[in-house]
Structure 1
Amino acid sequence: MSKATAIILAAGKSTRMKSEMPKVLHDICGRSMLSYVIEACRGAGVGRLVIVVGHRKDDVIAAFADCDDIVWVEQKEQKGTGHAAQMCKDALAGCEGQVLCIAGDMPLIRQDTLEQLLAENARTGDAVTLATSVLDDPTSYGRIIRDNANALSAIVEDKDCTDAQRKVCEVNVSYYCFDGKRMFDLLDNLSNDNAKGEYYITDTVADSLKNGWGAGAVAAVPPEDAMGINSRADLAVVARMMQGRIQNRWMDQGISIVDPSSTWIESDAVIGKETTIYPFTFVGRNAQIGDACRIGPHAMISSGEVIASGTIVCGSSTAEANV
């Protein structure tokens, strides 16, 4: 089977961020949020990335200039998620394999989730498959409605739900996998006959069911991963969640972090075995800490800094230095 392709939607400005910077370039633990989405796609075996850009597109493209597996597509007008995917038609000409379509502002996405989504789509042969999440509080999300056989029958937006549908906790979090042979049949048939005059990728589900091409859903997204970023407050919440993953990974590898709540370790730092990180410590991106070190309390290890094995760093702040 040929490798899958992924469309990543990264064209939006997000006025709620109150920033001129493209939303997908905002920093989370030393890396842009878009970089996490790209990493998850590559980890799941995606062979080609098609990234839709718009607002300050040159900045986004420049941030990934060394990536030769990315095709850039411009969405000049913001007309909805379906319209953004439609812009990829030429880039995907002749594509008959699986095509993921996901948002660039959901950095908590995991490789395992995408692998499950691809596997379910391959198993069923449906024209479109969604990865869904089950939330304690599904307010504001589109509900996944299933029939008596537990098959997907509809997605109903929160504002349109009946009282019974509003109690459904399985929701759409906008992870899609399409059969490349059917994808643009579905996208080309989208209508913008709605209050905002936009084309919504969600509508491909109803169209696929109507045409007998199949649409399915697999509850593969952990609840904590379902959060996208639309504001600075969201950014802070997601960064803290990502920080938890980073710290747990290091502790699983035998690194002691005395107080995780007062410690911050950026992405791509390297920490040697038997090292202990004490409270109120910051470790920057690409810092290299050797074995059996004691870092902190009150230490700042700058990005790219190298700390030799056996070093004790306490109450210090260094920048662009080797120890």
Structure 2
Amino acid sequence: MKAVVYREKGDPVVLKLVDRDVPEPGPGEVRVRIRASGINPADLVMRSNPRWPLPFPELTPHYDGAGEIDAVGPGVGTFARGDRAWLFGAVTPRAAGTAQEFTVVPASSARPLPDDASFELGASLGIPALSAHRALTVAEDGPRRLAPGALEGWTVLVAGGAGAVGHAAVQLARWAGATVIATVSGPEKAALATAAGAHHVVNYREGDPATEIRTAAGGGVDLIVEVSVSENIELDLAVLEIGGTIAVYAGTGRELHLDVTRNIALDVRYQFFYLFRDAERLAAAADDVTAAVRDGAMGVGEEHGLPLLRFPLAETAAAHLAAENGVVGKVLLDLT
């Protein structure tokens, strides 16, 4: 089979296309014929950042993907050969990322992909959708699981509504019954956030975004899904309801300086989180995301607010470069 690997940190040129034996699933594992492989910022950091040492001498990248179950190992009762599945957390101690024709993962890292959901959608879930789910379920007085009605009466602000996590947060929050406001940097991204399902879209670079957001919310917002808290903190505090939550899933690495008195007066809860720390919570989130897909609440492609950029497996380096250059949309490897 064909696989992409790298053996050293560096630019996308370190990614090499090689031939490998098809792996065999062990107890509790499934082998998946990959049809689409999703690329996330975590994959780029894993490949390039010297502060993240390589966990194995050779690594096949990409945590997320989708395809068909090709074989099941002993003790697996949740899947059968031929089942469609989406994968998350696929970079395991066996170095089985999804940038290859076949991969082996624990059955717990796979979920059923409905027949009417594309492999491209399945490969776009993973880190973005699970991060969005976590951000939407960290409020002290909010739900721990998502389902229709779980966020009824809540107003959610999604910062960066045209990004992959922002896109998933808009769709999941809307599915769960929230009023969804998204911030964007321009008209092109505003169209994407609207297509994703945001009730209100605000360009944070124009006019008075705080007033626009508070007007759309009918007051303050209850929960903010935040991509860049260092840059957005003033706007966040200007629109947050007293007792509200700021859920931080990413950032630029800059320091965050807080006015203690102001934050006490607002009774603010900040929740920073690392997605893969809590396996039980991650599994529950994957179940909820699968339910949202089954309900038709999740979609990709420009008509759903997330353009797709497809590359063949042999052009994985070019795909990484496109993602690093900040292309708008989701970058995928197409292995069909």
TM-score normalized by the length of structure 1: 0.26
Higher relative contact order (CA 8 A, sep 6+): 2
TM-score normalized by the length of structure 2: 0.26
Instruction: Decide which structure has the larger Cα Rg and report it.
Output: 1
